[in-house]
Copies of this chain bind each other. A is one copy, B any other.
Amino acid sequence: MSDHSEAPVTPVGPYEPPYYAAVFTTVRTPDQSDYSETNARMEELVKDVPGFLGMDHAQTPGGLGITVGYFRDAEALAQWRSNTEHRAAQKRGRADWYESYTLHVAKVERSHGFTRTRVPRSPTAG
């Protein structure tokens, strides 16, 4: 649900399990009219859902797109799922934007993260 292009990019998480991940994998059609605007709106809307933790998005040009939304619990996910604007966007997606998609809703049992430690090139006092 995202076309992030701002730098720098950082992966979401990890959070303390359990939490939920909604994995949305898509192949899009050539007709992407209104997609960007709707997508931007959805990105704003989802932030208002209590328990929304964050979202990762990657898009291979001309290929697969993957969006993963992270939610604290099933209630947060249910609230997002039942959002009226979100439902309208899903309907439009099936009508126009998506050639195919799969949604996997999953409860995260464990997670971990890694961030590279940079060694300073020229250490200075203080």
Contact = CB atoms under 8 A, between A and B. Distances in A.
Interface in A1-26: 4-5, 7-14, 20-21, 23, 25-26
Interface string A79-106: 0000000000000001000111111111
Nearest to A18: B106
Contact of A100 (B4, B25, B115): B115
B63 A66 contact: no
Contacts of A100: 10-11, 113-116
A72 B8 CA distance: 35
B108 A113 contact: no
A121 interface: no
